[in-house]
Amino acid sequence: MVKNLNVLLVEDEKRLASAIKFLFKENKIDCETVFDGKEGYQKALNNEYDVIILDVMLPNLNGLEILSKLRRCGKNTPIIMLTARSTVNDKITGLNLGADDYLPKPFDFDELIARVKALSRRSGFVVMNEISHGDLSLNLSTGELSNKDIKVKLNFKEKEIMKLFFISPDSVITKESLLNKVWGSDSFATDNNVEAYVSFLRKKLKFLKSNLNIKNYQKVGYKLEEEND
């Protein structure tokens, strides 16, 4: 007897989740639905699924945070991101964090089913664990930043800041954005915290002998750029 695929769906739109679950059942796919980010993360962490489907916008813990935490814990289950966001940067963020596939809303249900089945057939898939920009590479699991044979370990916040620079190489990132994404919107951190961590990272870039540096755009923010000779 062939075993049904076992899928976890973390989606807070209950009508959509119900429709997906019904169609999955029609296609012999067992689907467990969760409507809350924190509960979804615990389910994904503590149970085995053939595929996990994550919405990006979720209460308590968003889909990208769940994805990042699962990959840091070594959970390699194939993950599809569902989101109303369709910009290139959002897609790059998800894929760089370790997503295996990305489907913007509204989507075709048959396409979702096809993608779930395709991912479930994968064997020996590789989760993207390293991102690069210029002469630098950042290991998302270890927090190790390297330039060829020179390496330095970043702490968690340093790694998160560098990751934002890597995935948005053409953008100036504001201090407000760094505070929200690295420290959290409910944190008491201030601009001074951002400035201090940027200073730490500049010293590490110098140690690595990188041709990249973090440039300050007065009253706007920061951008990782190649230094002029």
pLDDT band at 186 (very low <50, low <70, confident <90, very high): low
Phi (first) and psi of residue 34, to 5 degrees: -135, 140
Report pLDDT for 228. Answer: 67
* Least confidently predicted of 87-96, 102-111, 215-224: 87-96
* 3-class DSSP state of 65: helix
Lowest mean pLDDT among 34-38, 79-83, 137-141: 137-141
Place of tokens 């044979």: 149
Question: Does 130-226 match 5-120 at the fold level?
Answer: no
Per-residue burial over 46-58, b = 16 or more CB atoms within 10 Å of its CB, e = otherwise: eeebbbbbbbbbb
Extended beta strands in the chain, E state: 5-10, 29-34, 51-55, 79-83, 101-104, 130-133, 136-139, 144-147, 150-153, 212-217, 221-226
Structure tokens at 47: 């149970």
130-226 maps to CATH 1.10.760.10? no
CB distance 25 to 113 below 8 Å: no
For 117-157, the pLDDT digits (tens) are: 878 765 334 344 678 888 999 987 788 999 999 999 998 88
Do 176 and 189 touch, CB atoms closer than 8 A?
A: no
Task: Answer whether 10's CB lies under 8 Å from 80's CB.
Answer: no
pLDDT of residue 229: 55
pLDDT of residue 128: 47
Which residues sit opposite 60 in a β-bridge? none
| Residue extents of the structural domains in the chain | 5-120, 130-226
Architecture of the domain delimited by 5-120: 3-Layer(aba) Sandwich (3.40)
Q: Is the pLDDT assigned to residue 187 strictly greater than 60?
A: yes
C-alpha distances in Å from residue 205, one per residue of 135, 189, 218:
11, 24, 21
Contact 201, 160 (CB under 8 A): no
Contacts of 3 (CB under 8 A, 6+ apart): none
The reported pLDDT for the residue numbered 213 is 94
* Residues 195-214: tens digit of each pLDDT: 999 999 999 999 999 999 99
User: How confident is the model at residue 218, as a pLDDT?
Assistant: 85
Mean of pLDDT values over 99-122: 82
List the beta bridge partners of residue 80: 53, 101
Cα 150 vs. chain centroid, distance in angstroms?
26
**Other Cβ atoms within 10 Å of 126 Cβ, number:** 9
Q: Pick the range with the lowest mean pLDDT from 4-13, 37-46, 119-128, 179-188.
A: 119-128
- pLDDT band for 26, please (50, 70, 90 cuts): confident
Mean per-residue pLDDT over the chain, rounded: 85
The confidence band for 36, taking pLDDT boundaries of 50, 70 and 90, is: very high
pLDDT of 58: 92
Q: How many percent of the chain have pLDDT more than 90?
A: 44
Mean pLDDT over 33-38 rounds to 96
Tell me the three state secondary structure of residue 62. Answer: coil
d(CA 95, CA 167): 10
